[in-house]
Amino acid sequence: MTHTAAFRFIADDARALYLSVCQEMDDIGERSSVRVRLAGDDTLVLEVTATDIPALRAALNTWLRLINIAVEVREIAAPPVL
């Protein structure tokens, strides 16, 4: 039995976020797989599939953290203009 989780992140800089994390797609464990893609100009889609719940949780922790770090670095490097 496989388990899947999918997240959609809407962001003005979705392409930059995608380019920041897509390089990590090959670096995943044997029990899980990850697909990161763009859906339109402003949506980043993360799909994680795993053979068991602990592997799904571990992969989600890693990938959600990677995306969060990419967002934080983007905010530091190019803060929004007010």
Q: What pLDDT does 64 receive?
A: 96
Residue 60 domain flag: yes
Residue 38 domain flag: yes
Residue 46 domain flag: yes
Query: Computed over its alpha carbons, how large is the radius of gyration of the chain?
Result: 13
**Cβ-count burial 46-76 (b if 16+ within 10 Å, e if not):** bebbbeeeebbebbbebbeebbeebbeebee
Residue 82 domain flag: no
Residue 53 domain flag: yes
Whole-model pTM: value is 0.86
Residue 35 domain flag: yes
Residue 27 above 80 pLDDT?
Answer: no
- Give the range of the structural domain holding residue 59, as residue numbers without chain letter: 3-77
8: domain CATH number? 3.30.310.50
Q: What pLDDT does 78 receive?
A: 77
Q: Take residue 79 and report the two structure tokens written for it.
A: 């803060």
Whole-number Å distance between alpha carbons of 51 and 43: 27
Residue 40 domain flag: yes
Question: What number is the average pLDDT over the span 52-76?
Answer: 93
Number of folded domains that form the chain? 1
